[in-house]
């Protein structure tokens, strides 16, 4: 039962994260190929500027009630959809 709960939480996190991308940048990650979830958001592919990533990070922190670890930023882990989802899951203790 715990596995089902974890999968459900992960799906909820990814759904909300996708909604934030649409809201802030007009990017619907769900309409892109699956591999797009592993592309850096801060790239020409998505057209997101560095200052926009700061706004995105602040929005993620607010919506999920977490604090993105400085190490995740320094190690460039706050960069792809999937990596950001992993950070949120880890910070929420799921």
Confidence at 6, pLDDT banded by 50, 70, 90: low
Tens-digit pLDDT profile for residues 76-88: 899 999 999 999 9
Phi, psi dihedral angles at 7 (to 5 degrees)? -65, -45
Identify the band that residue 4 occupies on the pLDDT scale cut at 50, 70 and 90: low
Domain count, the chain: 1
Print the domain residue range for 82: 2-92
CATH classification at residue 31? 1.10.1200.10
* φ, ψ for residue 82, nearest 5 deg: -65, -40
Give the whole-angstrom CA distance, residue 84 versus residue 77: 7
Alpha carbon separation from 66 to 3, 24, 88 (Å, rounded): 22, 19, 7
């Amino acid at each position: 039962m715990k596995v089902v709960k974890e999968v459900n939480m992960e799906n909820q996190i990814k759904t909300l994260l996708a909604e934030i991308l649409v809201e802030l940048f007009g990017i619907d990650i769900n309409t892109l190929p699956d591999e797009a979830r592993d592309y850096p958001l801060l790239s020409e592919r998505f057209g997101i500027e560095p200052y926009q990533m700061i706004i995105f990070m602040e929005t993620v922190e607010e919506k999920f009630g977490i604090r993105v670890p400085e190490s995740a930023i320094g190690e460039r882990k706050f960069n792809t959809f999937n990596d950001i989802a992993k950070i949120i899951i880890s910070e929420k203790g799921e």
